[in-house]
Amino acid sequence: MKINYHVSLKDFNTFGLDAKAACLIEIEDWDDLQALSDSTSDFPKPYYCIGQGSNLLFSRDYEGTLIRMANNSWEVIEEYQDYVLIQAGAGCIWDEFVEQTLAKGYFGLENLSLIPGTVGSSPVQNIGAYGAEAAQFIERVHCFDWETGLFATLEKEYCEFGYRQSIFKQHPSWVVIWIEFALSKMAQTQTYYQALEDYLEKNELDSGNPLVVRSAVVEIRNSKLPDYKKIGNAGSFFKNPVVGAELFESIRAKHPQMPFYVESETTYKIPAAWLIEQCEWKGVRLNGAGVHENQALILVNLGWATGKDVLELADRIVESIKNNFGIQLHPEVIVL
């Protein structure tokens, strides 16, 4: 267990914000977690578990203790005719894990390529992209509650997975340690997501090859999303809102070209990026923060932003969408 006090968080959040934490603890194994539970009174509160900081906005210095898992290995723990069960440490870098499993002939995660962050964040956020979600492949999650000192294993049916949601978001004292993934040994792909399907067809690529799908996803993401190492950002800042039929029809009557996805017989998902563009926020700058010029769903650190700058810009966008469309946007990014 590595303990550091008064730590700069610039290297621990992809926004590149130079906030500070009163304490940062890096955990390597089960014994570290137990020791942490036995000595919680020794460290400033509140506690919060972070990964790569790819989905966080530090609006100010963090006065408590941040916990970071450093277990970064994975292994096949069970193998069957058609699939394998893999146990991966929460500290694994997500995209490296995706690349490595595909290289071994274990398929399923290709649509989730190039998503920043760690494996430990995948069940918390139920990360998703291009028609796939982590919940499709997670079998169980091993976690630790630092408040009670208890270890627990949650089967997938008890994880309460939803769109960018899980039970883990409701329990900030739970630390994800290991995740078990069921991945196919058969090359089965999901390419019905429109942007992915269009790219594969346009370039005459084999949609049934998971490695080809991964490459396509990487190309698409690189063409649309800024590299956080060059310009600070946390990916998609807002969730795509889901609205009822009445509101959907009223908006569509005014904007017949509006893109949407059918969620159910009575609900529809509208791309938040489209809403933001319609309100002319694309490329707008406010203090040290801005809306990316090529992707309206991404807020960026222009190099000198504070967390308050980003939060103020986000709040103004939310107000604008509410006033113009009657839709309440909710952040995908977690604000601390």
Distance CA 114, CA 222 (A): 9
- Residue 126 backbone zone (phi > 0: left; psi -120 to 50: alpha; other: beta): left
Alpha helices in 225-335 (DSSP H): 245-254, 272-278, 307-325
**Structure tokens given for 80:** 């069957």
Q: Which residues pair with 125 in a beta bridge?
A: none
Q: Are 88 and 114 in contact (CB under 8 A)?
A: no
Q: Which member of 122, 164, 166, 180 is catalytic?
A: 164
Distance CA 97, CA 202 (A): 28
Rg (CA), the chain: 20
Q: What is the DSSP letter of 295?
A: -
Q: Which residues pair with 140 in a beta bridge?
A: 155, 180
Distance CA 245, CA 261 (A): 12
332 is catalytic: yes
**Structure tokens given for 228:** 């956080």
Q: Which member of 54, 121, 122, 236 is catalytic?
A: 236
Residues counted in the chain: 336
Position of tokens 């997670």?
Answer: 138
268 to 127, 134, 153, 248, 320: CA distances (angstroms): 20, 22, 34, 7, 20
CA torsion angle for 231, 335, 96, 162 (degrees, to 10)? -130
Q: Are 18 and 8 in contact (CB under 8 A)?
A: yes
Number of Cβ within 10 Å of residue 70's Cβ equals 16
Exposed / middle / buried, residue 170 (Cβ in 10 Å: 0-12, 13-18, 19+)? exposed
Catalytic residue annotation: 164, 236, 332
